[in-house]
Structure 1
Amino acid sequence: MNEKNSNSRLGRGLAALIGDVPPIEATRINSGDGIRRLPVEFIVASPNNPRRHFAPEDLEDLTNSIREKGVMQPILVRPSPLEPDQYELVAGERRWRAAQRAGLHEVPVIIREVDDREALELAIIENVQRADLNPLEESRGYDQLMDQFGYTQSDLAQVIGKSRSHVANTLRLMKLPTEVQQFVSDGALTAGHARALITADNPTELAKRIIDGGLSVRETENLAQKQAQAVSGGEPSAKGSAKIAKDADTLALEKTLSDLLGLKVVIDHKERGGKVEIKYRTLEQLDDVCQRLQHR
């Protein structure tokens, strides 16, 4: 990321870029506040909008509201980078879709000159703040910002206004098989269920058992642990069974670190801190870990 540009935007959120805009009915259009009206056919959807699923019942409710009261908040658009006299949606696609269904010919908009990176950032911010994205859409959006524009997890946490652990846990959902991801997108599984499946030997089969049985997240975590023990041939000892089962995020982090180092990593997390154990067999393995740490 360009450090200067990113720091000037970090944490500003959607409102800082479009201003604290009052409802349209309390605002005079074209009164110097930056709000204009555009024909709906002049606006095109963004191919990079992280939101892909629009629940028909929610869209119908918004359509009825717009049909009666109009669009109460402006839609954020930018000049289309591909077609003159067209504008690409940055935020507010659901309002734009509902306005068309309601038969409106024009919608209130705010036009901003933003690049691809800023447009995607704003789309994610608005949807996350409104809780409009399902967990997989949120994960794909974060992954796209990291892949295309070089964001780090710390950058994302600062821009989106979430904790770094939230960003890391959300990104882990991308490791799930496509069928399990679809269960999350459809709402059959929650993000908590999905994270518990990341370390499972057969997450798709386990996901179907969870859905059929209506299992809770805690039950899912216990089931995933039992499956892992069965695959490894190990049985929990009496001492081990008395311990509180590790949550899915801790198990996923253990696996990530183990894969990174090529050694077994155990995390003992408690309410106030904890410890990380790296198990090695030879001095060469220990030396390799030391070399990695020195070059960080």
Structure 2
Amino acid sequence: MANKRGLGRGMDALFSDEADKKEAQVVDKVADKKDQDNVVLKIAITSLEANPFQPRKTFDQAALSELADSLKESGLIQPIVVRKHGDKYQIVAGERRFRAARSAELTQVPVIVKSLSDNAMMALSIIENLQREDLNPIEEAQGINAYMKQLTLTQAQAAEKLGKSRAAIANTLRLLNLPAQVQQLIIEGQLSMGHARALLGLDAQSDMLLLADKAIKQQLSVRQIEDIVRHTASSKQKTNAKKPSNSIYIQAIEQQLEDKFSTKISLSKKKLEINFANKDELNRILDLLGVDLN
């Protein structure tokens, strides 16, 4: 009885009706019309190559093992979508099935060959994973960022092509501003998307890393992180307000320099700016400074 239940779960994973319907719809939408005869071929599994544009980097090993066990008994029923690449075939959609089939030591797998450009293949890989919600937030951000660079798209254009709002695209891409260590924590599921957005309220990456570590150790909620970020920002403002101000001193110097040069002067920390409107005014200022260009 235990084996029967295991096979049932494996068969569900094999067919995965709703997910596979979505995958097929995306493939047919992006693929060239001439390839939509959906002829299923059987090829050697060693002829398959991973998708170079696959945004998904992490796979549930327990789910893969369960699917592999089922494949050993029933084989792979749902074909993998591929495109020809030299004497090999690159996986367009179905990498999870490919990995499970390889783990099950299958020698041949069914495939459907589609004709796709690099741009179309990249778009398909991202859209398919977004529809199936297979990507963690960082993978999604990295995939969208790579897609935008490949096609030279603005956030608005990417949002339209991927069927998301511009705000959603912008918020997702902001995750790439987090330190690499924090991004890894999100990939591992130790921090949520909500935690990540709250951490972005801090200015320094070192502060983000420290608070992320504290959030995990103390199991802080998103609301608690938001409160800490607000308190940190408020404390910095108060500290800055209490610092002795040298603005009066700076203003006095600026005023003296403006009187001397008869132009706008800006002084801040290690920078002195002298403004001029045209070449004649520049020459006048250079004369006052004793600069001889002849």
TM-score, structure 1 as length reference: 0.66
CA contact (8 A) 2:27 2:124 kept: no
Alignment partner, residue 95 of structure 2? 93
Q: 2:236 aligns with which of 228, 231, 239?
A: 231
Q: 2:188 aligns with which of 183, 186, 189?
A: 186
CA contact (8 A) 1:79 1:86 kept: yes
Alignment partner, residue 15 of structure 1? 24
Following superposition, the deviation at residue 170 of structure 1 comes to 0.7
Deviations, residues 255-274 of structure 1 (Å, cap 9, x unaligned): xxxxxxxxxxxxxxxxxxxx
CA contact (8 A) 1:76 1:111 kept: yes
Structure 1 residues 148, 186: closer, same or farther in 2, change over 3 A? Answer: same
Structure 2 portions without partners, runs of 5+: 1-21, 30-36, 241-294
Following superposition, the deviation at residue 168 of structure 1 comes to 1.3
Structure 1 portions without partners, runs of 5+: 1-12, 21-31, 236-296
- Percent of matched pairs sharing the same residue: 41
Following superposition, the deviation at residue 14 of structure 1 comes to 4.4
SS of the counterpart of 2:196? Answer: helix
Q: Kindly name which structure, 1 or 2, has the bigger radius of gyration based on alpha carbons.
A: 2
Amino acid at match of 2:24: A
Following superposition, the deviation at residue 164 of structure 1 comes to 2.2
SS of the counterpart of 1:221? Answer: helix
Deviations, residues 11-41 of structure 1 (Å, cap 9, x unaligned): xx74335449xxxxxxxxxxx5322222110
Alignment partner, residue 168 of structure 2? 166
Q: 1:110 aligns with which of 109, 112, 119?
A: 112
SS of the counterpart of 1:219? Answer: helix
Residue-pair matches, total: 211
Alignment partner, residue 147 of structure 2? 145
Structure 1 residues 140, 72: closer, same or farther in 2, change over 3 A? Answer: same
SS of the counterpart of 1:166? Answer: helix
RMSD: 2.3
1-structure distance, mates of 2:24, 2:140? 20
Range moving further from structure 2, 163-172 or 92-101:
163-172
CA contact (8 A) 1:18 1:110 kept: no
Structure 1 residues 227, 172: closer, same or farther in 2, change over 3 A? Answer: same
Residues 1:49 and 2:54 are matched in the alignment: yes
CA contact (8 A) 2:38 2:112 kept: no
Structure 1 residues 193, 125: closer, same or farther in 2, change over 3 A? Answer: same
Amino acid at match of 1:48: F
Following superposition, the deviation at residue 145 of structure 1 comes to 0.9
Q: 1:195 aligns with which of 185, 194, 197?
A: 197
Following superposition, the deviation at residue 158 of structure 1 comes to 2.6
2-structure distance, mates of 1:197, 1:120? 30
Alignment partner, residue 248 of structure 2? none
Deviations, residues 44-101 of structure 1 (Å, cap 9, x unaligned): 1123211111222121122123223332322121111xxx220111221111010011
Alignment partner, residue 216 of structure 1? 221
TM-score, structure 2 as length reference: 0.66
SS of the counterpart of 2:42? Answer: strand
Structure 1 residues 42, 114: closer, same or farther in 2, change over 3 A? Answer: same
Deviations, residues 114-168 of structure 1 (Å, cap 9, x unaligned): 1111111111111111111111000000000111211222232233222222211
